[in-house]
Amino acid sequence: MNTADILQIIVFCALLIALTPVAGGYMARVFSGERVLLDRVLGPVERGIYRLCGIRPDQEQHWTAYALSMLAFNLLGFLLLYALLRAQGWLPLNPAGMAPVPPDLAFNTAVSFMTNTNWQAYGGESTLSYLSQMAGLTVQNFVSAATGIAVLVALIRGFARRSARTVGNFYVDMTRATLYVLLPISIVTALVLVSQGVPQNLDSYTVAHTVEGARQVIAQGPVASQEAIKQLGSNGGGFFSVNSAHPYENPTPLANFVEMIFLLLLAAGLTDTFGRMVGDRRQGWAIFAAMGILFLGGLGVAYWAELQGNPAVIAAGLDPAAGNMEGKEVRFGIVNSVLWAVATTAASNGSVNAMHDSFMPLGGMVPMVNMMLGEVVFGGVGAGLYGMLIFVLLAVFIAGLMVGRTPEYLGKKIEAKEIKLAMIATLTLPLGVLGFSALTLVLPAGLAGIQDPGPHGLSEVLYAYSSGTGNNGSAFAGFGANSLYHNTTIALAMLLGRFLVILPVLAIAGGLAAKRAVPPSAGTFPTHGGLFIGLLVGIVLIVGGLTFFPALALGPVVEHLMLGTGTFF
Amino acid sequence: MTRELRPAFVLIVVMTVLTGLLYPLAVTGAAQLLFPAKANGSLIERGGTIVGSSLIGQSFAGDAYFHPRPSAAGQGYDAANSGAGNLGAINKALIEAQAKAIAELRAANPDAPGPVPADLATASGSGLDPHISPAGAAFQVERVAKARNLPPDRVRALVAEYTEGRQLGLFGEPRVNVLLLNLALDERLPGDRLSSR
């Protein structure tokens, strides 16, 4: 541990806390339909889009219509992206002459970007044309993030409204999220990144003749525009294979800091948006606090683990001072690699600036656990908070059971229907993670993807399906995921993890909106204090622990023990 | 039903044009105007030839140059095929590869002080890491000075000049850009490198 590391963590956390109410307040105005500063410029664009698409912004939707619109829009986005990837060989903006993406990889990639997972079975600079990167991946980076925000906003309206039939208009929420939130911030961020050295051009790859006389082909392209929304929209699919470890995606420590802030900014800000829209900002900060506690806990464990370095290599004569540098970049060192790894898996972003596969066993377990907790520690934009609100419902339900009262949250009675729907959403994760991992371990086609022998091989499988089902997208990248079997099953896990959560959430939103408010009484359990925060953290950890501890014990935990005894594979 | 779904068709097309074409093209235009060198990859030219990018590492094997970290990108520093080793911490292949790298570094730098710095024996995340740590550079000073027939202190002074601190005094780690350092070596401290190679 050194002071420079601790200082960087403190500055990061302080800035995030300071920006949360700024972003939260702005988004609350955007989704309440209030005027914002950008109205003058974007108002006409917004109205033009509505006219062109035949959207009537004043006409709100019942939750079923909202869900249907969301599904239709996502399905079309998927089909368009799939077609683009399959046809890229014949389309323009392909200076490197990339061939069409094979069907299974195109299916996996299209699902991956539509579900906001952004799992990379593809290698960016070696597979995709500039047109696929821009008109395909970048578009889904925007609209999948906007979809997550829209679903969350519908759920918030469910809590905030009394005896209402509708939860908003999906197309309006989607359009406003893109126009007023994602697009303007992305434009500014992209240019900041270019100022740090992230390329933004449409030229063919550069051929350099190196100092020692070799030929080096340097892949470039429109990187900055994708990088900005990749971080902001909790997407995470990189322009290059190695994602934000690549010096062109993440050239300087300052670029890295900016990318880390934007990785969490909207997810954190939405907790305050929630508080403002339900009329009690303390409720938002309570959830923020619960997320913050889980975040710092994970960060502490991972930082400690990576700082140790690998004892086997230290014994062979490596200087232990710098920690475990395998798979990490010198400009980031341990602290920025670990901070990123924890943030990116807490946030279901899934971009990486260091290779999690080569983390120390417990260092690699933290990102995995973040995903297994359901991506609710800040989580994906929108997705993280609606996931956490599911846990909130479970928490008030359990608290209600303990004292023998009908549970309430924000003045709404939480009844059997809400809890059943919440359980469907909660059980999706073990179904996807443990179900597909088990299948993978008994099928030769599944086992073929494992790179590392011994327990780390199991860790690779668990990580892959946690990442897919949690819609994270990061990987233990040694895992050979680009095969017919894994492309298909991981795509299914991603679909399951996305829509089997969204649909119950929207159903809960519709049901809650229709309910009358119950006035708070002396027996109402306050949901903004320390007791509730502690209960919520406990519920998240207990549900995750009961579900996944046996699997973790056979993977990273046993790896850690074997490292201690010097048993290698 | 169709009234709910019709907008989906048009909206995805509108979003594709807006966020997939107009947005990246507008950013490209602005970037090319504001930061042309950086927007085009921070390329380095010497005598009309592009010798690399200041952000992308490249291979150096000669004794008279500082060496970068081991690379798992393609056959090593393949900038069209970024990649990492990705081996787990209890994988024998990883431990053996690092032990071999440590032994080779020791043999190539017999006069180097202290244990082998971690970055020199481990592969980076991108396979294109342009930097080594200041300790990684100090480890190689004696070898480079010997190959160029120069007093080590002159090489050490150049390394100090090319050591970047934390950005804004706070962010990241101190580091040395290998390509920039080696170019400066050739330009400012050629020594009698040619005879010794």
pLDDT score recorded for residue B197: 41
Both B127 and B87 in one domain: the answer is yes
- A4: which chain B residues are within 8 Å (Cβ-Cβ)? 166, 170
**Alpha carbon separation from A380 to A234, A246, A300, A388, A549 (Å, rounded):** 5, 23, 22, 11, 23
Q: Are A219 and A163 in contact (CB under 8 A)?
A: no
Interface-testing mutation among A211, A260, A360, A463, with chain B (most B C-beta atoms within 10 A)? A211
- A481: which chain B residues are within 8 Å (Cβ-Cβ)? none
Beta strands in A210-363 (DSSP E): 215-218
- CA A337 to CA A329: how far, in whole Å? 8
Secondary element (H or E) of residue A206: strand A206-209
> Between B59, B82, B124, which is nearest A210 by CB?
B59
- pLDDT by residue (tens digit) across A464-478? 999 999 999 999 988
Both B53 and B110 in one domain: the answer is yes
Q: Are A555 and A458 in contact (CB under 8 A)?
A: yes
Interface-testing mutation among A60, A331, A561, A567, with chain B (most B C-beta atoms within 10 A)? A331
Other Cβ atoms less than 10 A from the Cβ of A195: the count is 17
**Alpha carbon separation from A333 to A4, A61, A152, A241, A330 (Å, rounded):** 11, 50, 36, 20, 5
* Residue B69 structural domain: 41-196
Tokens of A482: 């680009």
**H helix intervals, B109-176:** 118-121, 134-138, 141-147, 152-161
CA distance A295 to chain B (A): 21
- A229: which chain B residues are within 8 Å (Cβ-Cβ)? 19
Both B130 and B191 in one domain: the answer is yes
Contact between chains at A327 and B124 (C-beta distance less than 8 A): yes
Nearest to A142 by CA among A59, A211, A73, A61: A73
Q: What is the three-class DSSP state of A152? A: helix
- A555: which chain B residues are within 8 Å (Cβ-Cβ)? none
Contact between chains at B41 and A208 (C-beta distance less than 8 A): no
Question: What are the structural domain ranges in chain A?
Answer: 382-565
- A134: which chain B residues are within 8 Å (Cβ-Cβ)? 20-21, 24
Contact between chains at A353 and B175 (C-beta distance less than 8 A): no
Q: What is the three-class DSSP state of A221? A: coil
Q: Does B21 contact A at CB distance below 8 Å?
A: yes
Contact between chains at A69 and B4 (C-beta distance less than 8 A): yes
- A217: which chain B residues are within 8 Å (Cβ-Cβ)? 78-80
Q: Are A144 and A114 in contact (CB under 8 A)?
A: yes
Contact between chains at B115 and A11 (C-beta distance less than 8 A): no
Amino acid at A2: N
Q: Considering only residues 139 to 158 of chain B, which have any Cβ-Cβ distance to chain A shorter than 8 Å?
A: none
Other Cβ atoms less than 10 A from the Cβ of A493: the count is 31
**H helix intervals, A331-435:** 333-346, 361-372, 383-403, 416-430
Q: What is the three-class DSSP state of A47? A: helix
- A568: which chain B residues are within 8 Å (Cβ-Cβ)? 90-92, 95
Q: Phi, psi (5° rounding) for residue B131?
A: -110, 160
Q: Does B133 contact A at CB distance below 8 Å?
A: yes
Half-sphere exposure of A63 (CA within 13 A, CB side): 23
Contact between chains at B90 and A562 (C-beta distance less than 8 A): yes
- B114: which chain A residues are within 8 Å (Cβ-Cβ)? 319
For tokens 């974007």, the residue is A42
Contact between chains at B173 and A352 (C-beta distance less than 8 A): no
Nearest residue on chain B to A122, alpha-carbon basis? B81
Q: Does B64 contact A at CB distance below 8 Å?
A: no
- CA A457 to CA A479: how far, in whole Å? 8
- CA A475 to CA A35: how far, in whole Å? 41
CA distance A261 to chain B (A): 13
For tokens 């947005």, the residue is B23
- CA A28 to CA A409: how far, in whole Å? 20
Contact between chains at A139 and B16 (C-beta distance less than 8 A): yes
Interface-testing mutation among B1, B2, B6, B16, with chain A (most A C-beta atoms within 10 A)? B16
pLDDT score recorded for residue A230: 95
Specify which residues B45 forms β-bridges with: B50
Both B57 and B148 in one domain: the answer is yes
Q: Are A144 and A113 in contact (CB under 8 A)?
A: yes
- CA B186 to CA B177: how far, in whole Å? 15
Nearest to A229 by CA among A171, A200, A190: A190
Nearest residue on chain B to A146, alpha-carbon basis? B15
- CA A51 to CA B82: how far, in whole Å? 45
Q: Does B196 contact A at CB distance below 8 Å?
A: no
For tokens 């939480």, the residue is A414
- CA A175 to CA A183: how far, in whole Å? 10
Q: Does B99 contact A at CB distance below 8 Å?
A: yes
Percent of chain B whose predicted confidence (pLDDT) is above 70: 97
> Between A228, A253, A358, which is nearest B166 by CB?
A253
- B106: which chain A residues are within 8 Å (Cβ-Cβ)? 317
Amino acid at A460: E
DSSP per-residue string spanning A1-39: --HHHHHHHHHHHHHHHHHHHHHHHHHHHHHTT---TTH
Contact between chains at A55 and B7 (C-beta distance less than 8 A): yes
- CA A50 to CA A154: how far, in whole Å? 19
Interface-testing mutation among B10, B59, B65, B82, with chain A (most A C-beta atoms within 10 A)? B82
- CA A143 to CA A247: how far, in whole Å? 27
Specify which residues A413 forms β-bridges with: A408
> Between A134, A195, A254, which is nearest B167 by CB?
A254
Both B3 and B21 in one domain: the answer is yes
Contact between chains at B55 and A360 (C-beta distance less than 8 A): no
Tokens of A157: 């309206």
Q: Does B166 contact A at CB distance below 8 Å?
A: yes
Other Cβ atoms less than 10 A from the Cβ of A448: the count is 12
pLDDT score recorded for residue B196: 41
Nearest residue on chain B to A205, alpha-carbon basis? B80
Both B30 and B45 in one domain: the answer is no
- pLDDT by residue (tens digit) across B48-60? 999 999 999 999 9
**H helix intervals, A88-182:** 103-114, 124-127, 130-131, 139-160, 170-176
Contact between chains at B58 and A69 (C-beta distance less than 8 A): no
CA distance A493 to chain B (A): 23
Q: Does B38 contact A at CB distance below 8 Å?
A: yes
pLDDT score recorded for residue A92: 92
Both B20 and B106 in one domain: the answer is no
Contact between chains at B80 and A252 (C-beta distance less than 8 A): no
Q: Are A110 and A121 in contact (CB under 8 A)?
A: no
Q: Are A145 and A177 in contact (CB under 8 A)?
A: yes
Contact between chains at B88 and A358 (C-beta distance less than 8 A): yes
Nearest residue on chain A to B96, alpha-carbon basis? A313
Question: How many H-runs (helices) and E-runs (strands) does chain A carry?
Answer: 23, 4
- pLDDT by residue (tens digit) across B101-158? 999 999 999 999 889 999 999 999 999 999 999 999 999 999 999 999 999 999 999 9
> Between B53, B59, B69, which is nearest A218 by CB?
B53
Both B21 and B103 in one domain: the answer is no
Other Cβ atoms less than 10 A from the Cβ of A459: the count is 29
pLDDT score recorded for residue A120: 87
Specify which residues B131 forms β-bridges with: B177
Non-local CB neighbours of A129 within 8 Å, separated by 6+ positions? A88, A89, A91, A93, A94, A96, A98
Specify which residues A168 forms β-bridges with: A61
Q: What is the three-class DSSP state of A101? A: coil
Both B48 and B23 in one domain: the answer is no
Query: What is the number of domains present in chain B?
Result: 2
For tokens 């233990």, the residue is A476
> Between A136, A174, A456, which is nearest B90 by CB?
A456
- CA A259 to CA B188: how far, in whole Å? 37
- B69: which chain A residues are within 8 Å (Cβ-Cβ)? 330
- B20: which chain A residues are within 8 Å (Cβ-Cβ)? 134-136, 138-139
For tokens 């909202």, the residue is A66
Amino acid at B135: A
How much is the ipTM here?
0.95
CA distance B74 to chain A (A): 11
Is the pLDDT confidence value at B4 over 80?
no
Nearest residue on chain A to B97, alpha-carbon basis? A313
Both B125 and B150 in one domain: the answer is yes
Secondary element (H or E) of residue B166: none
Both B100 and B45 in one domain: the answer is yes
Tokens of A207: 């051929």
pLDDT score recorded for residue A524: 85
Q: What is the three-class DSSP state of A508? A: helix
Contact between chains at B82 and A11 (C-beta distance less than 8 A): no
Question: pLDDT means per 10 residues in chain A (569 residues)?
Answer: 91 98 97 91 96 94 96 97 96 92 96 93 87 94 96 97 96 97 97 98 94 95 96 90 96 97 96 96 97 97 95 92 95 97 93 95 96 93 95 95 89 95 96 97 94 94 95 91 95 97 97 92 88 97 95 96 92
Is the pLDDT confidence value at B195 over 70?
no
